[in-house]
Amino acid sequence: MSGIGKLRRGQGHERRRRGGKQRKVLMNTIQDLIALVSRAEHCVALTGAGISTLSGIPDFRGPDGLYRRKDIDANKIFDLQYFLQDPSYYYRHAGSFLYNLDEKEPNIIHTTLAKLEEKGILKAVITQNIDMLHQKAGSHTVYELHGSPLRHHCLQCGVVYSYEEIVLSAKKGKTPRCTKCGGIIKPDIVFFGEALPENALNMAEQHARKADLMLVLGSSLTVYPAAAIPEVTVQCGGKVAIINASPTHLDRYAAWKGNDLAEAVTALREALVPDRHRES
């Protein structure tokens, strides 16, 4: 198992940090954040549901999220065993939260991260989201820890289907079947009972180790192992800047902490990747 798995189990890092080199003093002006990002040599972003609420996508676990809905049993929807028995339950309901994502647009946070990557400032985006908006915004190096509906595959013969091939029938609540063998088609998002995608997790850990700055954006760091990724950066001597509406367990180790994502990211964009008309 990776170091991320070890972190989750071990509490040793807590002791190491106390005597460690991490700064405890928060630098909390936007200029400090801009300075951190512009000085970083290997800056990586970890994003969570909070960055997509601005695009009208409710946090699954938030007040308007899937887990609060009375008409859907979210645990059943994403349960692998249940899906194998009856995929129609998932496809009957997923049109209201997954097969409507093609109608959503990236917001300033997604587009700024894409621009930061284009300029070579940001090396990778690691995301807990399954809404495909980083790719839509133009980010190339994206590691989706919970998988992605960009791909679906037949559980019987393995044929791959794109989101576009599935979305039209799924919007109508129809259950697609493999055109080659009639098998069940499953989205490549992680269901309960499935492991996280190994490659995404390994790459996330590599970037976390290498990062001298990790931006944690819109994640309350409650879902593991994603939540352990910035812990790896802290352990390896990197800095973490957290911008999230609510507190996280890593706040006291953060070099920078803010709660207004749009404000902080707008400032980063204006300072580091200004729009052309602003440059002239």
Q: Which of 50, 71, 23 is nearest to 260 (CA)?
A: 50
Query: What secondary structure does DSSP assign to 43-110, as a single string?
Result: EEEEE-GGGTGGGT---TTSTTSGGG-SS--HHHHTBHHHHHH-HHHHHHHGGGTTTTGGG----HHH
| Closest separation in Å from C-beta 159 to Zn ion | 5
Catalytic residue among 93, 110, 134, 146: 146
Among candidate residues 73, 101, 67, 102, the one with its CA nearest the CA of residue 89: 73
Q: Using omega within 30 degrees of 0 as the cis cutoff, is the peptide bond preceding 225 cis?
A: yes
Pick the closer one to Zn ion by CB: 151 or 210: 151
- Mask for 181-200, x = binds Zn ion (CB under 5 A): x-x-----------------
Minimum distance, C-beta of residue 191 to Zn ion, in the bound complex (Å): 18
> How far is Cα 97 from Cα 67, in angstroms, rounded to an integer?
11
Structure tokens at 1: 């198992």
Residues 98-137, mask of contacts with Zn ion (x by CB under 5 A)? ----------------------------------------
Q: What minimum distance in Å lies between the beta carbon of 257 and Zn ion?
A: 48
> Shortest distance, CB of residue 185 to Zn ion, whole angstroms?
8
Token digits of residue 70: 């009375």
Between CA 43 and CA 123, with CA 218 as vertex, the angle to 5 degrees is: 20
- The interface with Zn ion within residues 152-181 (CB under 5 A) comprises 154, 156-157, 159, 178, 180-181
Nearer to Zn ion, 87 or 183 (CB): 183
Is 207 assigned a catalytic role? no
Residues carrying an active site annotation: 146
The residues that touch Zn ion, with contacts defined as CB under 5 A, are 154, 156-157, 159, 178, 180-181, 183
